[in-house]
Amino acid sequence: GGVVMPDDENFSAFIFKIQANMNPAHRDRISFMRICSGKFEKGMTVWHLQGNHPVKLSQPQQFMAQERTTVETAYPGDIIGVFDPGIFTIGDTLTSEKNKIQFEDFPIFPPEIFAKVQPKDSLKRKQFEKGIIQLSQEGAIQVFRQEGVGLESYIVGVVGVLQLEVLEYRLLNEYSSKLLMNQLPYSVARWVYAEDKKLIENIKGLDNGMLVYDKKDRPVILVNNEWSLNWILERNPGIQFLTVPADVEKI
């Protein structure tokens, strides 16, 4: 509903990047934020809008190549990294407690390539699950689950094939988990919405597609191509099919 000015005294910032395992010896996770207004001071407590609770920003750092320096103060326009115990996601807003604003969500592009992944060694399931969750929080992949299927396998969606190679490499080198990966024949994803949930559970024409759920438990259909999507659209007039997941929350 407005613009945040850099000379506003109230603190505000947003998380735009998350990186796990920057120091493999410590398995640390750093969230990077851009300060938009107010003054940052080491150890300050801010309000996390998405978590709806206060957060103390510990171990603030700035990076130059492989070097890290501790940050005591920072100002609008500065980028700093803070230790993240796993509470932040990309697009999160941090503000002063007395002036709670929320920045618009980052756009999420619909994936066009899908694969079913599971650990090659069942004894590495915990490492596999941790790696998949952290990489999805970084924005490297989008993760979907099938109803009734446990955590031993996931459906991952990416925009380019290279992302699948990065996923396989990082899971092996950072989480010691080898992958079994089967690419799926789908190229179109649509988030679905209907006031009557039974309509979604019984979508007509989805014989050659798949109904899955994203990390926020929003239903998504995966189909082969636009022709298959149009076939489904014609047979389900009571359902809305949305390209961007944020649109589901606006309905």
Residues of the chain below pLDDT 70: 22-27, 65, 150-151, 246-251
**Beta strands at 240-242 and 188-193: parallel, antiparallel or unpaired:** antiparallel
pLDDT given at position 150: 65
Angle of CA points 158, 162, 163, to nearest 5° = 40
pLDDT given at position 2: 84
pLDDT given at position 249: 58
Q: Is 31 helix (H, G, I), strand (E, B) or coil?
A: strand
Tokens (6 digits) for 196: 């009557």
The pLDDT tens digits for 109-156 are 789 999 999 999 988 889 999 889 888 888 889 999 988 776 678 999
pLDDT given at position 157: 95
For 87-124, give one letter per residue: b (16+ CB within 10 A) or e: ebbbbbbbbbeeeebebeeeebebbebbbbbbbeeeeb
Instruction: Record the pTM.
Output: 0.75
Average pLDDT over the chain, rounded to an integer: 88
Distance CA 118, CA 125 (A): 8
Distance CA 21, CA 175 (A): 10
